[in-house]
C-alpha cells in the first residue's frame, strides 16, 4: 500500500499532521478509500463545476468562517488561502454581512455550524422569502454540513495522533 501518495497530502490527514510511519498513520492507511472520498467531497462542496449562486471564492470564505467558529485554526488557514479577496470579509465571524445584504445567509450558516439543534422550519422559509432558491439552500447546507464532518475528523485525528506521540 505505498501507491497512495495523495493520501498524505489530503486536507484532513495533513491538517492533523499524520505521517505514514506512525500508529495513527497505519490506521489511516487501512481506511485509505475513506480519506480519498473525503477529499473528493471537499472538491465537490468547495470547487463544484456548477456552483449555483455561490462562487468558489465565497465558498472558501464561508468554509474559513465555519472553521473559525469551531476553533479549527489549521482548516481556517487552509480555506483562507483559497478564498481570494472578493469575499474575504465573510471569513470573519464578526462580519454580519449587513453591508452586502448577506445577513440572513450568514446568520443561517453560523446557526447550522454552531447550533444546528436550534434550526427550525422558519430558518429555511426565511431564506426562501429572501429569494434564495431551493437548490442554493441545499448547496449552502451541504457546504456547511461537510465542514461539520471534516472539522471533527481533523479534531479526532489530531487527538489520536497526539495520544500516540
Partner 1 sequence: MTDVIHKFTRTVPTWRPRVAPVSLPDASPEQLDALQVTPSNTKVSDYVLVLAHDPETLKVRSPLFNAIMYDAGGMSRAEREVGAIAASVVNRCIYCAAVHANRHAQLAKDTAVTDAIFATGTSAALGARDRAIFEYALALSKCPSEAGPTHIADLRAAGLDDAEILDLTLSSALFGWANRLMHVLGDPIRNEVSA
Summarize as ranges the residues that interact with partner 1 (CB under 8 A).
23-24, 26-28, 30-31, 33-34, 37-38, 40-41, 44-45, 48-50, 52, 69-72, 112-117, 119, 121, 123-125, 128, 134-135, 137-139, 141-142, 144-146, 148-153, 155-157, 159-160, 162-164
Complex with partner 1: residue 99 or 148, whichever CB lies closer: 148
Asked if residue 62 lies in contact with residue 143, where contact means CB atoms within 8 angstroms, the answer is: yes
User: Nearest approach, Cβ of 67 to partner 1 (angstroms)?
Assistant: 10
User: Nearest approach, Cβ of 6 to partner 1 (angstroms)?
Assistant: 15
User: Nearest approach, Cβ of 61 to partner 1 (angstroms)?
Assistant: 18
Complex with partner 1: residue 31 or 77, whichever CB lies closer: 31
Q: Is 30 exposed, middle or buried (0-12, 13-18, 19+ CB in 10 A)?
A: exposed
Complex with partner 1: residue 71 or 99, whichever CB lies closer: 71
User: Nearest approach, Cβ of 153 to partner 1 (angstroms)?
Assistant: 4
Complex with partner 1: residue 69 or 89, whichever CB lies closer: 69
Q: What is the 3-state secondary structure (H, E, C) of the chain?
A: CCCCHHHHHCHHHHHCCCCCCCHHHHHHHHCHHHHHHHHHHHHHHHCCCCCCCCCHHHHHHHHHHHHHHCCCHHHHHHHHCCCCCCCHHHHCCCCCCHHHCCHHHHHHHHHHHHCHHHCCHHHHHHHHHCCCCHHHHHHHHHHHHHHHHHHHHHHHHHHHHHHHC
User: Nearest approach, Cβ of 20 to partner 1 (angstroms)?
Assistant: 14
Complex with partner 1: residue 50 or 99, whichever CB lies closer: 50
Amino acid at each position: 500500500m505505498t501507491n497512495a501518495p495523495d493520501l498524505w497530502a489530503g486536507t484532513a490527514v495533513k491538517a492533523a499532521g499524520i505521517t505514514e510511519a506512525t500508529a495513527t498513520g497505519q490506521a489511516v492507511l487501512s481506511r485509505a478509500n475513506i480519506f480519498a472520498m473525503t477529499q473528493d467531497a471537499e472538491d465537490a462542496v468547495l470547487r463544484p463545476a456548477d456552483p449555483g449562486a455561490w462562487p468558489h471564492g465565497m465558498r472558501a470564505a464561508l468554509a474559513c468562517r465555519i472553521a473559525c467558529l469551531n476553533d479549527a485554526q489549521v482548516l481556517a488557514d487552509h480555506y483562507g488561502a483559497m478564498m481570494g479577496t472578493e469575499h474575504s470579509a465573510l471569513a470573519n465571524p464578526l462580519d454580519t454581512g449587513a453591508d452586502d445584504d448577506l445577513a440572513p445567509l450568514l446568520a443561517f450558516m453560523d446557526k447550522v455550524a454552531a447550533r444546528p439543534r436550534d434550526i427550525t422550519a422558519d430558518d429555511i422559509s426565511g431564506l426562501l422569502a429572501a429569494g434564495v432558491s431551493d437548490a442554493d439552500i441545499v448547496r449552502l447546507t451541504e457546504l456547511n454540513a461537510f465542514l461539520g464532518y471534516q472539522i471533527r475528523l481533523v479534531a479526532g485525528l489530531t487527538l489520536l495522533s497526539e495520544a500516540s506521540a
